[in-house]
Amino acid sequence: MSFFQPQATKAAQKQSAIDPQHQPWVEKYRPKTIDDVSAQEHTVAVLRKTLTSSNLPHMLFYGPPGTGKTSTILALARQLFGPDNFRSRVLELNASDERGISIVREKIKNFARQTPRAQAVASDGKTYPCPPYKIIILDEADSMTQDAQAALRRIMELYARITRFCLVCNYVTRIIEPLASRCSKFRFKPLDPSATSARLAQIAAAENVPLSPGTAAALVATSHGDLRRAITYLQSAARLATSVAPPAPITPRDVQEIAGVVPDDVVVGFAGALGIEPLGTGGGDGMDVDVDAGGKATGFDGVRKKAKAIIREGYSASQIIAQLHDYVVAHPTLTARQKARCAMVFAEADKALCDGADEELWILEVGLRAHKAIASDS
């Protein structure tokens, strides 16, 4: 197979090169410079200085997914080295590459100990700072084993003169202390809605996708500050919308469906069966009668019926529980005690579902226990 494989892949590369419409927008609109990075002003300000001083510490980027950690370091590296030196000066490893201790010992160490080659002449005519060191980016470093992390310790010190490390991770607590102490830490905070919607609008404009404010709001809400997710959803929605004969506008409902979000009325309906009065009805005296009547109808059988209906609709149990959680916690009339009990139930259910437990049983379990918690003292 060896003699034709290179051709095949070459062909594939060429094809992808000419087919930018299939490129994920996440890649397409990745920031080119660190100034393009959305909403991480503090980090960007610090890093901008390194561009001029060419003195870069080891770095540890951490924060929730989709906040621009990888984009930032890639953009920074690009600005430092330029496209020509990029290949020889930057090593990027992410979680799907093999990253056991053997890789640390061989690949990373070998790359780390090479003295960087002289600066190639920038072909695009710009000048880059091109400082005399290389950068090793370890994406998703928190999924590296303890052993592999331990093996990194000495490498980071030994070759510090010619190599800088950038660890990127979601959970800083999973990086072993000795590694963390060798790095300067940068926290990436979740994007605030305005930054997300600004970036979305920018992309939508570039792609010629009509984006109504409602849709943008839905995207922001479903992505929870994860810009990558928001952009992916936008692309999927755009794809759906343009595939119909007269391109339809993207509705907020489309976005919810793509994100797998359960419609609010389903959540509210389920909550109603648990005896939680619906939001927005004012909670006045006049409404109490209705709620009580509803509460009485929903004993064990009521909850069970509702749970079965939800399963029939095919909604994901963990999604339902997450949304029910948001709903209950934000609910104005429930007491703190009731909320606390419900939260306990949600936590247990989430664990069970993570272990692969049966969805129907656990939706029912959540329903019954939340129902009991709410009925106990209101």
Q: Give contact residues for another protein (rule: CB under 8 A).
A: 1, 3-5, 7-9, 11-12, 14-16, 18-19, 21-22, 24, 65, 95-96, 228-229, 232-233, 236, 239-240, 242-245, 257-260, 299-300, 304, 308, 311-319, 341, 344-345, 351-353, 355-362, 364-365, 368-369, 372-373
CA–CA distance from 261 to each of 16, 115, 117, 222 (Å)?
A: 32, 51, 51, 7
Residue number with CB closer to another protein (84 or 350): 350
- Minimum distance, C-beta of residue 12 to another protein, in the bound complex (Å): 5
d(CA 376, CA 193): 38
Task: Identify the bridge partners of residue 61 per DSSP, sorted by sequence position.
Answer: 168, 186
Please report which helix (H) or strand (E) contains residue 165, including its range.
strand 163-169
How many Cα atoms occupy the beta-carbon half-sphere of 6 within 13 Å?
2
Kindly state the tokens that stand for 238. 């755009």
By beta-carbon proximity to another protein, the closer residue of 114 and 318 is 318
CB of 61 to another protein, least distance (A): 18
Least distance to another protein from the beta carbon of 243, Å?
4
- Beta strand 59-62 pairing with 163-169: parallel
- Looking at the Cβ atoms of 15 and 54, the one nearer to another protein is 15
Residue 226, SS3 per DSSP: coil
**Alpha carbon distances (Å) from 31 to 26, 94, 124, 180:** 10, 19, 19, 27
How many other C-beta atoms lie within 10 A of the C-beta of residue 135? 23
How far is 204 from 359, CA to CA, in rounded Å?
37
In one letter, which amino acid is 60?
Answer: L
Angle in degrees, 0-180, between the axes of helices 213-223 and 193-207, rounded to the nearest 10: 120
Q: Closest CB to another protein among 160 and 311?
A: 311
CB of 357 to another protein, least distance (A): 4
Helices (H) then strands (E): counts for the chain: 18, 5
CB nearer to another protein: give 182 or 372: 372
Residue nearer to another protein on the CB measure, 51 or 241: 241
Q: Going by DSSP bridges, is the β-strand pair 184-187/163-169 parallel, antiparallel, or unpaired?
A: unpaired
Q: How far is the CB of 112 from another protein (least distance, A)?
A: 24
Smallest separation (angstroms) from another protein to the CB of 151: 20
Nearer Cβ to another protein (135/364): 364
What is the C-alpha separation between 202 and 104, in angstroms, rounded?
40
Cβ-proximal residues to 131 (8 Å cutoff; 6+ apart), any chain: 54, 55, 56, 80
CA nearest neighbour of 189 among 62, 52, 50: 62
- Of 276 and 373, the one with the shorter C-beta distance to another protein is 373
Tokens of 296: 């009485």
CB of 192 to another protein, least distance (A): 21
Q: CB of residue 47 vs another protein: minimum separation in angstroms?
A: 26
CB atoms within 10 A of CB 151: 19
Query: Minimal distance in Å, beta carbon 153 to another protein?
Result: 23
Using the minimum distance from each CB to another protein, give the nearer residue, 56 or 255: 255
Minimum distance from residue 110 beta carbon to another protein (Å): 23
Partners of 45 in the β-ladder: none
| Residue 7 vs 123, nearer CB to another protein | 7
